[in-house]
Amino acid sequence: MKKRYFITGTDTDAGKTRVSECLLTSAAQQGLSTLGLKPVAAGAEQVDGEWQNEDAQRLIQASSIKLPYQSVNPVLLRAAMAPHIAAERENKRLTAQNITGYCRGTLMTGQADFTLIEGAGGWRVPLNYRETLADVVKALNLEVILVVGMKLGCLNHALLTAEAIKRDGLVLRGWVANSVQPVMEGLTENIHTLERMMPAPLVGVLPHLAEGAQAPEQWVNPALFR
């Protein structure tokens, strides 16, 4: 059975892309074909004369199924800011219907065993003044993996995000504790607190990684891939 998850975070700097890269690598080690998508990205740089987003590039590199850049990241906004504001500056209109359509088309093309669709910012990031990116997840009926950036304030952010996901009628498949800081006072206690209070299981603890470093083996529960 093919696995498809939406990756969201407790905030913008929770480490969604880092976790997504590591999950795609771990899935490949399980013998699965993999695909990472970034349907909406804000923040671009020119690569070989083409505007691209760094997070989308990293997902492409981590995926075993290679698709054209525009299939992985159909909505690219140049300014690194809230997507609806960046879109207004470029005279573009973001809608949940259009983004859902892009995702469905790519999912039909890239038939991977394990697919991750990475969000932008947190769960309630606006697409316009009526819709958020969560509306796309609802339309696609995807299970959600929450990346918790382990730092001061993460308990509140994690619990509120989990409540919002449940309120939207979606399944929170699990959460990842991502060590965004080299050292966090009370890291173990914070993880233990979330294990007791989150309405979904802890599926992995990702230690703080230097740039370019690989995640340790068996950092994530392999049941996520089955």
- From 38, 138, 151, 166, the catalytic residue: 38
- Each residue's pLDDT tens digit, 15-41: 999 999 999 999 999 999 999 999 999
Determine whether 66 is an active site residue. Answer: no
Q: Which fold has domain 3-225?
A: Rossmann fold (3.40.50)
18-22, long-range: CB < 8 A, 24+ apart: 18/178, 18/206, 18/209, 19/145, 19/147, 19/176, 19/178, 19/204, 19/206, 20/59, 20/62, 20/116, 20/118, 21/58, 21/59, 21/61, 21/62, 22/206, 22/215, 22/219, 22/220
- Each residue's pLDDT tens digit, 142-151: 999 999 999 9
pLDDT for residue 57 is more than 90: yes
